[in-house]
Structure 1
Amino acid sequence: MKRNHLIANGAVFVFFLFMLIHAFGLHEIRRFGEVGSGFWPLLVLSSATILSLILLIREWRSKGGEKEERPEGNEGDSGGNRIKVFGSILCLLFYVIGMPFVGFILSTFIFILFFIFVLGERRKWILALSPPLVTGLIVLVFGKLISMPLPKGVGIFADFSRLFY
């Protein structure tokens, strides 16, 4: 198994490195004081390249003959995982379809709430705090700091979105 993991991690590292090298050729279009369009691909690809290199080194240094241990009681859990995957896909589909109509803030809030519920989170304080915190953080970073236009929605939803960005 170790050889397969090394090959897979090496392939991922080479892919991200290849994409990073080509991302340096992107032409930045920006106004004074704003982050250019070439910044985000470079940031994401640099992070992915570094993380995949760390994963490759960690796999290379690990002991070769170790048998993978599976947690007890997960043999018959594939039905629950299928439900989570299907529910996650449905959440994402409704999120993408609904965002142009209800706007970024409301659709992201609802998406995060349903998504973490589908993944199995039942603690009420997590369900109550995660959607507003994550949505607020995304709006702050992308809507305010980076000045990236976010979908506002239609009608009353657009008016609601204009209160925030």
Structure 2
Amino acid sequence: MISTRLLMPVFFIFVSIGFLIATFNLPKAKMGDPNAPIYFPAVISIFLLIVSVIYLIREWRAKRKEDEPLKRLKAGRTPVLIVSTLVLGLIYALVFFHLGFLVSTILFLGALLFLVNGKSRWLVNIVVALLFSLASWYAFSHLLNISLP
């Protein structure tokens, strides 16, 4: 089983290789040096590849167990909060144009605050959701003259 600390360098090794392959498929310049459009992205891709390989080697040699913060992140309420926030954000995006900025933002912030703070702080949750949404709407609509749905 691959350690979670090794996932990111492996991911970026694949990303850098993909960018390097895509770089060599860029069209040639018609004027000047025909390879000029390739130099900068190739250097960045190679740099990312080198840094990712170095990081992978360092993590592989360390052979550390999972850090305590990562274990705490996986335990308890945190995964539920992360997934719930993503779901609420998706719902917010889907209803935004149907309900408009003000109503959808009040509902989104209210649900998010109830999720994080719980039902016991219901008054604070409602007041913050209302005040923030109204202040944001006023700032965009009247102060910045930006039309909101």
Q: TM-score, normalised by structure 2?
A: 0.48
Larger Rg: 2
Q: TM-score, normalised by structure 1?
A: 0.44
Instruction: Name the one with the larger helix percent.
Output: 2
Higher relative contact order (CA 8 A, sep 6+): 1
